[in-house]
Chain A
Amino acid sequence: GENVEQHPSTLSVQEGDSAVIKCTYSDSASNYFPWYKQELGKGPQLIIDIRSNVGEKKDQRIAVTLNKTAKHFSLHITETQPEDSAVYFCAASRTGGYQKVTFGIGTKLQVIP
């Protein structure tokens, strides 16, 4: 089965700096890679996703890059703000009727004002 590794497990940055979270996956058939943000006591929110036919995707201050050859993908948050503080999960899955998603362990991001 798929195995997703994520690091770092915790990350502290100063407000305005950039934050980078990295993930690797094991299943070469995976081709969908979502990122979720989870605030305390709430469900995960999809913040950005990327598919294997795309190498990079950007949405305002958030960008995700994908290297299929190396089987790794990364989340980049620029100009961090205190409200970016949360736990971020990367995930991987195969496209298809059974869309099981495998999650990384999560990264607790703290943005220091």
Chain B
Amino acid sequence: GAVVSQHPSWVICKSGTSVKIECRSLDFQATTMFWYRQFPKQSLMLMATSNEGSKATYEQGVEKDKFLINHASLTLSTLTVTSAHPEDSSFYICSASLRTVLSTDTQYFGPGTRLTVL
């Protein structure tokens, strides 16, 4: 249980185009999903927290107009990188929070999406 999928697993696009990444919780309902960015050999950097049915909360320094997040249902959140540039090339990872009887803070991660902007 607690499987999170991402699509696509990798994408190459031209500079100036927009790219959409999907994150799905396959076997549980996720009231909260998170989007991270990871550069090579570095830790995960939280970009935004997404709650179903409400606007995402962005971390300081993350441009909300560039990284559009939509959390339309309890099993799907999308991240759209608008007008992508080479510096947006990175590994994007989502996670979904599994609500349990004991707590509400167990996060399960997707496999990540490698974005390369030419």
**Which residues of A pack against B, CB within 8 Å?**
32, 34, 36, 41-46, 49, 51, 89, 93-101, 103-106
Docked-complex contact A46 and B106, CB < 8 angstroms: yes
The 10 closest A-B pairs by CB, nearest first: A99-B105, A43-B109, A43-B112, A43-B111, A44-B109, A103-B43, A105-B43, A32-B105, A43-B93, A103-B44
B107/A34 in contact, CB under 8 A: yes
A contacts with B: majority SS:
loop
B58 to chain A, nearest CB (A): 12
B residues adjacent to A (C-beta < 8 A): 4, 6, 32, 34, 42-44, 46, 49, 57, 93, 95, 97, 102-112, 114
Inter-chain CA distance A29–B42, complex, in Å, is 26
Query: Are B104 and A95 in contact, CB atoms less than 8 angstroms apart?
Result: yes
Report whether B106 and A100 are in contact in the complex, using a CB–CB cutoff of 8 Å: no
Interfacial chain A residues near B107, Cβ < 8 Å: 34, 46, 99, 101
Contacts of A104 in B (CB 8 A): 43
CA gap between A75 and B95 in the complex, in Å: 22
User: Hey, which chain A residues are within 8 Å of B103, CB to CB?
Assistant: 32, 51, 95
Q: Are A98 and B49 in contact (CB under 8 A)?
A: yes
Least Cβ distance of B25 to chain A in Å?
Answer: 13
Please state if B93 and A89 are interface contacts (CB–CB under 8 Å).
no
Expressed in whole angstroms, the minimum distance between the Cβ of B20 and any Cβ of chain A is 18
With A44-B44, A103-B44, A104-B43 already in contact, the answer to whether A96 and B105 are too (CB < 8 A) is yes
Q: Is the CB of A95 within 8 A of B105?
A: yes
